[in-house]
Structure 1
Amino acid sequence: MRIRLLDAAGARQLYESRMARDFPPGELKPFAAMEELLAAGLYEPLTFTDDAGAVLAYAWQVVLPGQQAGLVDYFAVRSDLRGSGIGTRALHLLQAHYAPRLAALLLECEHPAEAPDAAIARRRIGFYLRAGARATALESRVFGARYSILQLPCGETLLPDGTLNTALQTLYSRMVPQPYYRGSVIFYGN
């Protein structure tokens, strides 16, 4: 499996061809907002491909210079490949890709207590945990949706929840402009 960083044109093509199908409308940012993060150099859309270049999975990360943790904003495996191990392999490749720059990647998962489908939310969290993510005591509420926060370590050291909380607040303060941030993005835990 190979990893490839997309340019703005490739990111738009991925958004239009796959993301609108893979994510519910309420979870998908407008591409214009994503394009602003791309132009600022804070968004890194990656594809995971086979040797022929076919996209198997993709991930979009928010990464700020000088931070210890980034945020996996979107992650999806091609629907016909789900349950085949591709997702786990892609996450391990993602960890290795970011290891030189980050100690961890943060994952937000819908909290089962408030998810539209609690069984899917539990299954998604279970997938990330089996792939090497670690649970934290952190939660967030972003535009009304409640999330459990997981840490996907990019090295041997786990970051403490307090450090992760600070990183998450910093990431969101750059991703969500004021006045939308205040009152719409809330963090719980350390």
Structure 2
Amino acid sequence: MPVATDRRAVIADAAITTLARAGGRGLTHRAVDKEAGLPIGSTSYYLRTRADLLRAAVDRLAELDEAALTPATDGTLAADLARVIDHLLTTDRERLLARYELALESVRRPELRVFLAAGTHRVRGVIEQRLAEQGVAAPREVAEATLALVDGLLFAELTAIEGQQRGRPDLEAALARLVGTR
């Protein structure tokens, strides 16, 4: 995860790390203070409720996802998505684990589902725009299918037995077939 300097981003990043390491039950203001290296009470000063803390984590995840989908030099969406998937499965697994913790918690907390839907909408918008720029027919529908495929690939790869994960070229090929760039 990129290093944040803004206090709210630092807190949101610490919430993401806490979710990944301790699960939803471990997400407390005090745990986030500790993870962020902040004085006790700092998180609750900026984010009063647990719902505020969850929303900050969701918003930060969407922000990081949007930034990750910025076109690379080769310009293909499939390559960029494969890069993001590979990064989430290797270097930034905590971000992925936190996302799944939030998704599971949203089953019992409808207000969290609303936040997650808003974050998904932001990311889908970036993908839709990239598809439209590449001249893909029905970019909204393809963006929705692409997100579903990416979610499925991420879950399958995250839970795969070690050593059986797809490599980045295989991921890129599957994504290229979907988005029509190959």
TM-score bracket relative to the smaller structure: 0.3 to 0.5
Q: What's the TM-score, normalizing by structure 2?
A: 0.35
Between Structure 1 and Structure 2, which shows a larger proportion of helix residues? 2
**Larger RCO (CA within 8 A; separation ≥ 6):** 2
Q: What's the TM-score, normalizing by structure 1?
A: 0.34
